[in-house]
């Protein structure tokens, strides 16, 4: 799948490792741009909900073309079959929707994007690449009842509270994958399987860090009144476990 068809002319490239990121520009440095697009690098395509310059490295990242390595890991956990009905929450550039369309057939793919500007560009990218999945502009936490039930739900934004709608719109035996991030920062790849009882159970599969769903963004400060709301209980704590375990 050609990733360059989903990459913007200007972006901030952040390798999926310890290396520092930097701007890329297809017009002024085409080879550098091409190398970044075809490496394990995430590309920032929107900053500050559209108010910032995504190629500046400044502001809050609000949409990106995720690094291929983590995209493939989530798709492997999803394990979609041919002709599955798939809900893709967070269209972004449209690249994942294209990969899913290639795997299961575009007729079965529904992709939801909360930002209208991002969704419009994704639609154009998909058209250029020759795909036409069902695209929706809206709140992904609500799912899509008119296209349900789904065999698979694929979420590309950090989730702290799992919406019941996703479980309700997935067939028994169906799979939901997402970056589960109870707090801002590093979370976990979560794979859930929906049961016949209308619940979902699953397991974690390594670390993950995505931008949060817009409706679940965390505040960045701890206010004094929160102490009164917090509960407490006795327990044992091991500093070694805390240091060696993944956040979350």
Q: Where in the sequence numbering do the catalytic residues fall?
A: 66
| CA proximity to 99, closest of 136, 152, 32, 39 | 152
CA distances from 224 to 112, 221, 229, 230 (A): 37, 10, 10, 11
Instruction: Identify the CA nearest to 213 among candidates 170, 167, 154, 155.
Output: 155
Hunting for tokens 């060696």 — which residue is that?
244
- Distance, CA of 62 to CA of 51 (rounded, Å): 10
As given in the structure block, the two tokens for residue 3 are 């990733």
């Amino acid at each position: 799948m050609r990733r360059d068809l989903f990459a913007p002319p200007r972006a901030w490239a952040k390798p999926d490792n310890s290396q520092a990121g930097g701007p890329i520009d297809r017009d002024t440095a085409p080879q550098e741009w091409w190398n970044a697009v075809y490496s394990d690098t995430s590309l920032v395509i929107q900053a500050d909900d559209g108010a910032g310059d995504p190629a500046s490295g400044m502001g809050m990242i609000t949409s990106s073309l995720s690094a291929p390595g983590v995209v493939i890991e989530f798709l492997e956990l999803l394990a979609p079959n041919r002709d599955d009905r798939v809900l893709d929450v967070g269209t972004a550039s449209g690249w994942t929707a294209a990969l899913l369309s290639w795997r299961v057939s575009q007729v079965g793919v529904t992709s939801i994007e909360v930002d209208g500007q991002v969704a419009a560009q994704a639609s154009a990218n998909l058209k250029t690449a020759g795909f036409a999945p069902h695209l929706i502009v809206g709140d992904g936490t609500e799912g899509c009842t008119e296209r349900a039930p789904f065999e698979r739900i694929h979420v590309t934004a950090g989730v702290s509270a799992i919406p019941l709608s996703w479980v309700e719109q997935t067939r028994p035996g169906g799979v939901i994958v997402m970056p589960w991030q109870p707090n801002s920062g590093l979370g976990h790849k979560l794979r859930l399987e929906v049961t016949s009882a209308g619940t979902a159970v699953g397991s974690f599969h390594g670390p993950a860090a995505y931008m949060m769903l817009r409706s679940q963004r965390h505040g960045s400060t701890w206010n004094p009144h929160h102490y009164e709301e917090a509960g407490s209980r006795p327990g044992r704590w091991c500093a070694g476990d805390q240091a060696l375990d993944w956040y979350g």
